[in-house]
Amino acid sequence: MYKIFKIKKGNLDAGFSLVEMLVATGIFMSIMTLAITALISIMGANKKAQTIKSTIDSVTFAIENISRDMRMGTDYKCFYGSVFTSDCTDSLINGSTAVRYKNNSGTYIITYKFLDTNELTVTTCNVSDPDCTSPTAYLISKDSGANITSMKFYVIGADHELDSTASTRTQPRVLISTSGLISVKGAGDTTFNLQTSISQRIRR
């Protein structure tokens, strides 16, 4: 019994060898490297997701504001060539970069225009000065972080909105198609596409 006890005691006092310590340290460092790499990847993906969500939310908010006001408008016109016209048949293929309508009370003419600088402006003019061009506000600017590469307005039915005959009268609809690019440093670029359909709510 005494000999057995001595052997066990000797094994307890033996400890780890240098080779065992090096192997254990190597395994630990490998696991930590994998864990840190995974953590960095998760943090990058989360940053990218937050940036995408923030950008799309800002664009969606701008389009919702347009929709809310536009559906109560009248006398819709699209920008074709160099003028605003209610005959938007030819522009339905490629869409137009601007849309114009009168507000519900008919006192103001509101114009939404997508500029070559990839910015969206709104211009509010008095009906007595329909050709005013100074933007009232930038709904989407360069500082918003949203790189809008394309915004098209497709106006349908505006040419028969004001027909005196009820059978040929139509309620205009506007389709807004938006494309953009979201750049996140170190995470690449992400493209997005949004579409919104707006129907006139006022019945004549």
What letters, b where the CB count within 10 A reaches 16 and e where it falls short, cover 43-56?
eeeeebeebeeebb
Is the Cβ–Cβ distance between 70 and 33 less than 8 Å? no
Instruction: Give the mean model confidence (pLDDT) for residues 108-135.
Output: 86
pLDDT for residue 153 is more than 90? yes
Instruction: Give the mean model confidence (pLDDT) for residues 43-68.
Output: 81
- Tell me what pLDDT residue 110 has: 92
- Whole-angstrom distance, CA of residue 176 vs CA of residue 192: 14
- Whole-angstrom distance, CA of residue 163 vs CA of residue 137: 33
Specify the residue for token string 């940053």.
47
Give DSSP secondary structure letters for the chain: -HHHHHHHHHHHTS---HHHHHHHHHHHHHHHHHHHHHHHHHHHHHHHHHHHHHHHHHHHHHHHHHHHHHTT-EEEEEEETTEEES--TGGGTT-BSEEEEE-TTSSEEEEEEE-TTS-EEEEEEETT-TT--S-SEEEE-GGGS-EEEEEEEEEESGGGTT-SSTTT----EEEEEEEEEEEETTTEEEEEEEEEEEE-----
pLDDT for residue 185 is more than 80? no
Quick one: pLDDT band at residue 117, thresholds 50, 70, 90? confident
Instruction: Give the mean model confidence (pLDDT) for residues 54-68.
Output: 84
- Whole-angstrom distance, CA of residue 130 vs CA of residue 136: 14
Is the Cβ–Cβ distance between 72 and 104 less than 8 Å? yes
* Out of 9-23, 88-102, 156-170, least confident range: 9-23
